[in-house]
Amino acid sequence: MTPPESARGIGLAVDIALPPRLAHIAFAVAPGETLAITGDNGAGKSTLLAILAGLLRPASGTVSLEGRMLAADGVHVPPHRRGITLLGQGAPLFPHLSVLDNVAYAPKAAGAGRTAAREVARARLDEVGMLGFAARRPHELSGGQVRRVAIARALAADPAVLLLDEPLAAVDRTAAPGIRSLLESVLTGRLALLVTHDPDDLVLADRGLALDRGGLSPAPSPSSNGRESSLPRPDDDDSRPFGGPVVAAASLGTTMGDTMAAGIGAGTGAAGTAAMTTAGATTDAWEAGRARTPAEHRAAVELLLAGALAARPTMRVQVELIAESDRTYVLAEDATAAIAIPPFDNSQMDGYAVRSADLAAASADAPIELPVTGIVAAGDAPGILEAGGVAAIMTGAAVPVGADAIVPVEATRALDAGPRGFAEVGGGVSFTAPVASGTFVRRTGSDAEEGAVVLPPGTVLGAAQLGALSSAGVDAVEVHGRGPTVLLVSTGAELQPSGPLEPGRIRDSNRIALTSALVEAGADVRARTLTSDDPDELVALLAEGVADEHARIELVVTTGGVSAGAFEVVREALEPRGVVFGSVAMQPGGPQGLGLARLPRAHSDDPAAEVHVPVVAFPGNPVSCLVSFELFLRPALRAAVGLPAERPRAWAPLAEATASPTGKHQVRRGRLDEHGRVVFVGDASSHRIGSYAASTVLVHLPVGRDAFAAGEPVEIWRIDD
Ligand SMILES: Nc1nc2c(c(=O)[nH]1)N[C@H]1C(S)=C(S)[C@@H](COP(=O)(O)OP(=O)(O)OC[C@H]3O[C@@H](n4cnc5c(N)ncnc54)[C@H](O)[C@@H]3O)O[C@H]1N2
Ligand code: MOO
């Protein structure tokens, strides 16, 4: 595949503050050059690609391509007008399209007719070895196959600039060499950025830069692919193409990239399904003046928070402290057995340790009598069993060397019975049956071998897990730390935080409900109530909260003041400061706000000084804000601290017929009856927090339907765990 005409003469120049730490990075990529970017997790490599693709706005700085400004103060060329294609790590396929049409989507979006687009798609699918799967739907493919189709889709766009984020990471091992050589030919002479951990991938690049938390530096061993480009190249050390050294800019406080994530809904609008984010393919619904699907909005929230939530610190905690704590701890690393479980061969029964060969001829008619040569109690060091003798042994005691089976005491007869039916040392025991070697012996390491992984990362440490760690001699483990520190601000002049209610006032129940929800998702919460509809007061409160050195706020969540009323305090305060407000085609939770807010820096001598903080603005209705939290924020927060992101999901038939707004994905509250059918609790009104509290499931009624019949299966999320 040769690069398109449009790739000729292009150079990419980047000079930005990179979230989350706003390290100043500057570099250029020459026409035809492939630049590899390596470096730490969480340093911002994927964020950098998202900024170049136009999915995120840089907090400050410029991105230009062939002299054309793509991003600068006041400039944001949308993703589909950049001529840049991003193959992101997720790069999900459209679930409702065939493999062929998924790949044909890219050339079609670029203006090709259906037949021509499909022709291109077939060629690309052939190159990745997936032509035989053209008619299949994505759910019929393995993870590695999905990745190959995503690669084909990225290449089918034939972009002037290609951004590849760990392109081979999810490709099955057998297919990887073929895909690598395909990429090699695709990248030849094409301007590309390749983010990778895999040293083997560096062969694809002309040059490497390492990105760490401080910024960029030349990669330790920039590897050349040996290709000779006839196109002009930057200087060898051009991590500083603009003359100055690469410096880490002073942190502007808590930060994250602004976003107007491009998202393509799954078409069904099913809440919670990951949105498609393919730069170059589409534009953001809000930017186009449309409502986002829930999936699109979830993707936008996740993009906004990607920097704040990535690579959070982990910590080492004593197993004993975890057992005593009421916090939920999640393993961040493999826990490996320091000692085997069990640590030595031991008896599963009270009885006699024997050499099975000695009893081979035993039968009821011809019992074998053997002398007791010793007694082994649990805790005794293992002894030796000589041939022709047996040892009385207790459950959990070490099996003597030489013994290979245990016969329970009740299956024997002591010739001179001592205490509890056991023969005394020196007495005889009669055996009436042979015993297979290994019987009732708990072998060393049969539960976990020494050095084996007892529990993988992501394990929630409950009673059994902590017991296993203790058995395996693990005294301390690496666990996830807390999630982000969140400033939760509920707004509304009607709110009364405490005391007997005055006329027209209500309790600030969102503050209580969302504090609990955020804590359950691992966050640290600082909650405030703004009992005013004055935007300046909200800005002052936020600026003050974010400036608090001790709190180190990483995310602001607000409730209320986002819709169409006369006093929409959140919208009025934050719309001019970079937060974007729009609709999500769902009910409840229709009006939403999201973005990186530029706030005045409190206590600064410079009146122009700003801090930037991500803001997720939920509607004020109590059900709306909790459902919004469930769909948009909870998964990302929980995933960031290693907790299972999603609610347990299932399908269940409706016990009763219901109506739903056609143009919206509706989320209702319900319970399961004794036949496992969904019964609604309360109606769809979003003030009914009491009905919500009595519910055990959230019920999803997808967009595009206005009526659901009794007996029809619907998706439910369990919220009672
Ligand atoms: N003309 C229109 N009116 C409304 C629209 C619309 O599109 N056009 N959208 C409705 C929808 S949908 C929602 S949801 C709400 C969202 O409103 P706001 O986010 O602006 O929230 P408020 O107006 O401040 O409050 C709504 C509702 O919730 C109660 N509330 C607010 N905060 C709390 C709290 N902390 N604790 C308990 N209850 C709270 C508040 O008293 C209101 O009853 O707008 C609709 N209107
Ligand atoms: O969409 Mo509002 O959130 O009905 O209730």
Q: What does the pLDDT look like over 396-441, one tens digit per residue?
A: 999 999 999 999 999 999 988 777 788 888 999 999 999 999 999 9
Asked if the structure places residue 263 within a domain, the reply is: no
Q: Is the pLDDT of residue 159 over 80?
A: yes
Please choose from 510, 584, 587, 692 the residue to mutate so as to test ligand 2's pocket, defined by most ligand atoms within 8 A of CB.
587
The verdict on the CB of residue 506 being under 6 Å from ligand 1 is: yes
Q: Which of 112-121, 444-453, 710-719 has the lowest mean pLDDT?
A: 112-121
- 3-class DSSP assignment, residue 173: coil
* Alpha carbon of 225 to ligand 2 centroid (Å): 55
**Could you tell me the pLDDT band of residue 256, with boundaries at 50, 70 and 90?**
very low
* Alpha carbon of 11 to ligand 1 centroid (Å): 49
Euclidean distance between CA atoms 649 and 631, whole angstroms: 13
The answer to whether residues 185 and 44 belong to one domain is: yes
Q: Is the pLDDT of residue 226 over 60?
A: no
Which residues have a Cβ under 8 Å from the Cβ of 618 and sit 6 or more positions away?
A: 514, 557, 558, 559, 562, 589, 592, 624, 625, 628, 629
Q: Is the pLDDT of residue 60 over 90?
A: no
In terms of Cβ atoms closer than 10 Å to its own Cβ (0-12, 13-18, 19+), residue 240 is middle
The answer to whether residues 21 and 115 belong to one domain is: yes
Q: Identify the top-confidence range among 82-96, 189-203, 454-468.
A: 454-468
How many independent structural domains does the chain possess? 5
Mean pLDDT of the chain: 85
Please check whether residue 651 is in contact with residue 676, taking contact to mean a CB–CB distance below 8 angstroms.
Answer: no
Please check whether residue 303 is in contact with residue 261, taking contact to mean a CB–CB distance below 8 angstroms.
Answer: yes
Which residues have a Cβ under 8 Å from the Cβ of 327 and sit 6 or more positions away?
A: none
Per the structure block, which two tokens stand in for 411?
């299956």
The verdict on the CB of residue 621 being under 6 Å from ligand 1 is: yes
- Residue 222 sits at φ, ψ, to 5 deg, of -55, 125
3-class secondary structure for 502-552?
CCCCEECHHHHHHHHHHHHCCCEEEEEEECCCCHHHHHHHHHHHHHCCCCC
Asked if the structure places residue 279 within a domain, the reply is: no
The verdict on the CB of residue 278 being under 6 Å from ligand 2 is: no
Please check whether residue 164 is in contact with residue 20, taking contact to mean a CB–CB distance below 8 angstroms.
Answer: no
At 663, which amino acid appears?
A: G
Query: For the domain that residue 462 is a member of, what is the CATH number?
Result: 3.90.105.10
The verdict on the CB of residue 590 being under 6 Å from ligand 1 is: yes
Please state, for a pLDDT cut of 70, what percent of the chain lies above it.
89
Nearest to 704 by CA among 284, 96, 267, 291: 267
The verdict on the CB of residue 501 being under 6 Å from ligand 1 is: no
Euclidean distance between CA atoms 426 and 122, whole angstroms: 84
- Summarize the confidence of residues 138-154 as an average pLDDT: 88
Query: For the domain that residue 595 is a member of, what is the CATH number?
Result: 3.40.980.10
Which of 258, 287, 304 terminates a domain? The answer is 258
Q: Whose alpha carbon is nearest atom 4 of ligand 2?
A: 588
- Summarize the confidence of residues 154-177 as an average pLDDT: 88
pLDDT, tens digit, for every residue of 263-305? 222 222 222 222 333 333 357 899 888 999 999 999 999 999 9
Asked if the structure places residue 283 within a domain, the reply is: no
Euclidean distance between CA atoms 241 and 230, whole angstroms: 20
**Could you tell me the pLDDT band of residue 516, with boundaries at 50, 70 and 90?**
very high
Euclidean distance between CA atoms 420 and 413, whole angstroms: 12
Which of 480, 503, 534 terminates a domain? The answer is 480
Please check whether residue 517 is in contact with residue 527, taking contact to mean a CB–CB distance below 8 angstroms.
Answer: no
Residues forming a β-bridge with 127: none
3-class secondary structure for 218-259?
ECCCCCCCCCCCCCCCCCCCCCCCCCCCCCCCCCCCCCCCEE
Asked if the structure places residue 284 within a domain, the reply is: no
Which of 621, 640, 659 terminates a domain? The answer is 640
Q: Whose alpha carbon is nearest atom 5 of ligand 2?
A: 588
The answer to whether residues 243 and 111 belong to one domain is: yes
Q: DSSP state, 446? A: S
Q: Which of 153-162, 321-330, 628-637, 671-680 has the lowest mean pLDDT?
A: 153-162
The answer to whether residues 244 and 115 belong to one domain is: yes
Please check whether residue 55 is in contact with residue 279, taking contact to mean a CB–CB distance below 8 angstroms.
Answer: yes
In terms of Cβ atoms closer than 10 Å to its own Cβ (0-12, 13-18, 19+), residue 296 is buried
pLDDT of residue 20: 67
At 44, which amino acid appears?
A: G
pLDDT of residue 461: 97
Please check whether residue 134 is in contact with residue 99, taking contact to mean a CB–CB distance below 8 angstroms.
Answer: yes
The answer to whether residues 403 and 357 belong to one domain is: yes
Query: For the domain that residue 428 is a member of, what is the CATH number?
Result: 2.170.190.11
Asked if the structure places residue 293 within a domain, the reply is: no
Please check whether residue 254 is in contact with residue 553, taking contact to mean a CB–CB distance below 8 angstroms.
Answer: yes
pLDDT, tens digit, for every residue of 61-78? 888 888 788 888 778 877
Per the structure block, which two tokens stand in for 626?
């909790």
Q: Which of 381-390, 560-569, 644-653, 702-711 has the lowest mean pLDDT?
A: 560-569
- Summarize the confidence of residues 652-660 as an average pLDDT: 96
**Could you tell me the pLDDT band of residue 141, with boundaries at 50, 70 and 90?**
confident
* Alpha carbon of 492 to ligand 1 centroid (Å): 9
The answer to whether residues 138 and 24 belong to one domain is: yes
pLDDT of residue 277: 34
Q: Which of 81-95, 533-547, 601-615 has the lowest mean pLDDT?
A: 81-95
Euclidean distance between CA atoms 536 and 573, whole angstroms: 7
pLDDT of residue 89: 80
Of residues 375 and 55, more confidently modeled: 375
pLDDT of residue 352: 97
The verdict on the CB of residue 559 being under 6 Å from ligand 2 is: no
The answer to whether residues 607 and 465 belong to one domain is: no
* Alpha carbon of 95 to ligand 2 centroid (Å): 28
The answer to whether residues 328 and 405 belong to one domain is: no
At 67, which amino acid appears?
A: G
Euclidean distance between CA atoms 479 and 465, whole angstroms: 13
The answer to whether residues 331 and 352 belong to one domain is: no
Euclidean distance between CA atoms 628 and 90, whole angstroms: 23
pLDDT of residue 224: 38
Q: Is the pLDDT of residue 112 over 90?
A: no
Q: What is the DSSP string of 555-587?
A: EEEEES--SSSS--HHHHHHGGGT-EEEEBSEE
Q: Whose alpha carbon is nearest atom 27 of ligand 1?
A: 621
Q: Which of 106-110, 135-139, 330-334, 523-527 has the lowest mean pLDDT?
A: 106-110
Please choose from 587, 621, 686, 688 the residue to mutate so as to test ligand 1's pocket, defined by most ligand atoms within 8 A of CB.
621
The verdict on the CB of residue 695 being under 6 Å from ligand 2 is: no
- Summarize the confidence of residues 148-177 as an average pLDDT: 88
Asked if the structure places residue 691 within a domain, the reply is: yes
The answer to whether residues 329 and 434 belong to one domain is: no
pLDDT of residue 99: 92
CA of 501, nearest ligand number: 1
Atom of ligand 1 nearest to the CA of 490: 35
pLDDT of residue 278: 33
Asked if the structure places residue 131 within a domain, the reply is: yes
- Among all chains, which residue has been given the structure tokens 């909790």? 626
The verdict on the CB of residue 563 being under 6 Å from ligand 1 is: yes
The answer to whether residues 438 and 450 belong to one domain is: no
Please check whether residue 526 is in contact with residue 486, taking contact to mean a CB–CB distance below 8 angstroms.
Answer: yes
Find the domain containing 663 and state its range. 649-718
C-alpha of 298 from chain center: 13
pLDDT, tens digit, for every residue of 474-511? 999 999 998 999 999 999 999 998 889 999 999 999 99
pLDDT of residue 436: 97
At 504, which amino acid appears?
A: G
The verdict on the CB of residue 622 being under 6 Å from ligand 2 is: no
C-alpha of 413 from chain center: 61
Vertex 404, ends 399 and 410: CA angle to 5°? 75
Q: Whose alpha carbon is nearest atom 2 of ligand 2?
A: 588
CA of 564, nearest ligand number: 1
State the complex-level ipTM: 0.97
* Alpha carbon of 686 to ligand 2 centroid (Å): 6
Per the structure block, which two tokens stand in for 485?
């520190």
Please state, for a pLDDT cut of 90, what percent of the chain lies above it.
58
pLDDT of residue 282: 53
pLDDT, tens digit, for every residue of 352-375? 999 999 999 999 999 999 999 999
pLDDT of residue 394: 96
The verdict on the CB of residue 622 being under 6 Å from ligand 1 is: yes
C-alpha count within 13 angstroms, C-beta hemisphere, residue 704: 7
CA of 617, nearest ligand number: 1
- Among all chains, which residue has been given the structure tokens 């055996």? 431
Which residues have a Cβ under 8 Å from the Cβ of 119 and sit 6 or more positions away?
A: none
The answer to whether residues 198 and 91 belong to one domain is: yes
pLDDT, tens digit, for every residue of 632-650? 999 999 999 999 999 999 9
* Alpha carbon of 483 to ligand 2 centroid (Å): 28
The verdict on the CB of residue 223 being under 6 Å from ligand 1 is: no
The verdict on the CB of residue 560 being under 6 Å from ligand 1 is: yes
The verdict on the CB of residue 590 being under 6 Å from ligand 2 is: yes
pLDDT of residue 382: 85
At 267, which amino acid appears?
A: G
Asked if the structure places residue 469 within a domain, the reply is: yes
Query: For the domain that residue 197 is a member of, what is the CATH number?
Result: 3.40.50.300
- Summarize the confidence of residues 33-56 as an average pLDDT: 84
- Residue 688 sits at φ, ψ, to 5 deg, of -85, 70
pLDDT, tens digit, for every residue of 553-585? 999 999 999 987 778 999 999 999 999 999 999
